[in-house]
Amino acid sequence: MTSIKAFHQLSIDNPDVFWAEEAKLIDWHKPFTKTLDFSRPPFAKWFVGGETNLCYNAVDRHAAKRPNDRAMVFISTETDTEIVYSFAELKQEVMRMAAAMQSLGVGQGDRVLIYMPMIPEATFAMLACARIGAIHSVVFGGFASGSLATRIDDATPKLIVSADAGMRGGKAVPYKHLLDDAITLAKHKPAKVLMVDRGLDKEFQKIAGRDVDYATLRTQFMDTEVPVTWLESSEPSYILYTSGTTGKPKGVQRDTGGYAVALAASMKHIYCGGVGETMFSTSDIGWVVGHSYIVYGPLIAGMCTIMYEGTPLRPDPGIWWQIVEKYKVNVMFSAPTAARVLKKHDTAYMHKYDLSSLKHLFLAGEPLDQPTHEWIMGELKLPVIDNYWQTETGWPILAAMPGIEKTEIRFGTPSFPVYGYDLRIFREDGTVCDADEKGIVGIVPPLPPGCLSTVWGDDERFVSTYFSLFREPQVYSSFDWGIKDKDGYHYILGRTDDVINVAGHRLGTREIEEAIQGHPAIAEVAVVGVADQLKGQMPMAFAVVKDAASIATPEKRLALEKAVLKQVDDSLGAIARPSRVHFLTVLPKTRSGKLLRRSIQALAEGRDPGDLTTIEDPAALEQLQQALGFKAPS
Ligand code: AMP
């Protein structure tokens, strides 16, 4: 067995040899002629000239050898449904969906926006796009019309696939009216909307000529064979939007061959999942974890994937462990927030079930605090592996890699740089930090296979956003602070930008500010992330009203706060809702007009606000402190 150090070193010293070997983990229709083309840095093209297909690797190749083996188990504790799909059945369902899409005019390179709850048809739709070379863009179902409209305009989809409603905590969450509103708001109007009617929203209205019922269309294609469209490795497979420092989300564009190889390699070396085993990722298909480790990763590895609609607490906090026992789950993937939620409940729920099939639990998406890490590892008595990555990379940057070498797991650290990533901690002048010195987590390009190939439709933005940390050297910025200790373990210390992380979900404070600014009573607003015990961070808003009369009485304040929160719900979705909206008459700014975000955040967290000598109006600070309850209003 090689060491992770040697493995990593080989991947950096000789990426061609390293990745050509890993590329054998997937099936190629046509072999590649060159492993890496890095002639136009920072753009990297992997497996040049090779032709493959994500759906073929995830479904067909297993269906051919093991048609009756389990490919996907759909479990909804919301609708009390459990459906098991074999690889043959999954292939058939994907072909039905693909044929339906083709009948609506979708072809190679066309975008298909998927706005769906966690139902099997969402997975079929993603795989169907991959099969026919269409580019999917899944938008998380918790996002509302404003967010959706921005993404529709950027991706300009030919088709949108959606459903009447999702279910959460026993309640139907209607989707269709949000989608209709989003299409009204958007400049781009998709020609067709393919609707899965779950019968959950009795009031949903079909728009004649545009909306098509999937159940009806599907019956026309029950036995249709839809051949795989072979794609050159660099052809885009999907776009996934993520928040940044501007109000406009970035479309992370993923390739085909590089992504397939990266996922296959990660399943082997990091997640240790193999043919015939079962993986349960508790994320949502709207997030990158859902793309990589609910849909593509486990299926490419020939595993059965569990697709779960529901919360970790219903019908009781033992539900996830019950699923592990019933389906003999070998690999589980979740987020630290979920672990913190479970920690608040009786551990008897965990110990009631036979968890002996489980080899590892992986947690990612946000910092895993030491007490939670220690607690869950102690309870489960198995390695709980913190892994650090981003929507942009598509798979882990830092992790323990038990498939290569079993290294000591230390609490509060996602361990070591993963093979393929030439990761260093940089000082702000571009030099490399010493051990134990805080700096910016950067990656020296080329980025390994699977990472974003560009920002959809905007190569310039790809370079200017991610590769402009220093003039020299050209480095990918993760926008995270980090430290590498003397033993090589890495610690992530939070974002360098205005992005916040709520329960593992990335939110841009600017997007929330823009939504609030849309309210007619608000003149100006600042949103900051404030530490939260359960969710890691929560947004908190500080707003200046246009007319003081609108907050003249406590009742008026409360009513306006409610109205502002609703504004966020309607535009972005409840996921972005601030914990509070505090009203001020002026925001703390520097004399040059720059918002003192870090100071606002520090005060909201009860910390020292730092150097405030540049503040323009000291009264702003007093008001802020008053609003936060530091001083009684005079
Ligand atoms: P997203 O693109 O939504 O997955 O968010 C990526 C960001 O989440 C990273 O840039 C980090 O700030 C944070 N993050 C993800 N995983 C971890 C982790 N294991 N430890 C600390 N922060 C993490």
- Mutational test site, ligand 1, from 340, 376, 388, max ligand atoms within 8 Å of CB: 388
Helix, coil or strand: residue 371: helix
Is 611 among the domain residues?
A: yes
Is 539 among the domain residues?
A: yes
Closest residue CA from atom 5 of ligand 1:
390
How many other CB atoms are there within 10 angstroms of residue 102's CB atom?
Answer: 17
Q: Which residues are paired to 385 by β-bridges?
A: 362
- Mutational test site, ligand 1, from 252, 373, 452, 506, max ligand atoms within 8 Å of CB: 506
Nearest-Å Rg of the Cα atoms of the chain is: 24
Closest ligand 1 atom to Cα of 288: 4
Closest residue CA from atom 9 of ligand 1:
390
Name the stretches of the chain with pLDDT < 50: 631-634
228 alpha carbon to ligand 1 midpoint, in Å?
34
**CATH classification of the domain holding 519:** 3.30.300.30
Which residue in this structure is represented by tokens 């402190």? Answer: 625
Enumerate residues 6+ apart whose C-beta is below 8 A from 406.
none
Is 84 among the domain residues?
A: no
Closest CA to 505 of 336, 339, 267: 336
141 alpha carbon to ligand 1 midpoint, in Å?
20
Domain span at 609 = 500-627
Is 344 among the domain residues?
A: no
Is 540 among the domain residues?
A: yes
Closest residue CA from atom 4 of ligand 1:
390
362 alpha carbon to ligand 1 midpoint, in Å?
13
Question: What are 517's two structure tokens?
Answer: 């600014």
pLDDT of residue 630: 66
d(CA 335, CA 346): 19
- Mutational test site, ligand 1, from 139, 366, 507, max ligand atoms within 8 Å of CB: 366
What are the pocket residues of ligand 1 if the criterion is a CB atom closer than 6 Å to any ligand atom? 242, 288, 364-368, 386-391, 414, 478, 480, 492, 495, 501, 506
Q: What is the dihedral of CA 398, 404, 409, 415, to 10 degrees?
A: -20
Which residue in this structure is represented by tokens 């390695």? Answer: 383
Helix, coil or strand: residue 555: helix
Q: Are 11 and 417 in contact (CB under 8 A)?
A: no
Is 10 among the domain residues?
A: no
Is 570 among the domain residues?
A: yes
d(CA 113, CA 162): 9
- Residue 392 CA, chain-centre distance (Å), reads 9
123 alpha carbon to ligand 1 midpoint, in Å?
24
CA distances from 332 to 84, 273, 358 (A): 18, 10, 7
CA distances from 234 to 253, 357, 452, 550, 623 (A): 10, 37, 11, 55, 54
Q: What phi, psi does 410 have (nearest 5°)?
A: -110, 145
Closest ligand 1 atom to Cα of 506: 3
Q: For the chain, how many structural domains are there in total? A: 1
pLDDT of residue 632: 42
pLDDT in tens, 459-512: 999 999 999 999 888 999 999 999 999 999 999 998 998 899 999 898 989 889
Closest residue CA from atom 23 of ligand 1:
366
361 alpha carbon to ligand 1 midpoint, in Å?
17
d(CA 496, CA 510): 15
Is 533 among the domain residues?
A: yes
pLDDT in tens, 500-543: 999 989 898 988 998 998 899 998 899 999 999 999 999 999 99
Per-residue b or e along 199-223, where b marks 16 or more CB atoms closer than 10 Å to that residue's CB:
ebbeebeeeeeebbebeebbeebee
Enumerate residues 6+ apart whose C-beta is below 8 A from 289.
281, 283, 333, 335, 364, 365
Closest ligand 1 atom to Cα of 289: 4
pLDDT in tens, 253-283: 999 999 999 999 999 999 999 999 999 999 9
Q: What is the pTM of this model?
A: 0.94
133 alpha carbon to ligand 1 midpoint, in Å?
30
Closest ligand 1 atom to Cα of 387: 19
Closest residue CA from atom 18 of ligand 1:
388
Closest CA to 10 of 352, 332, 404: 404
Enumerate residues 6+ apart whose C-beta is below 8 A from 558.
none
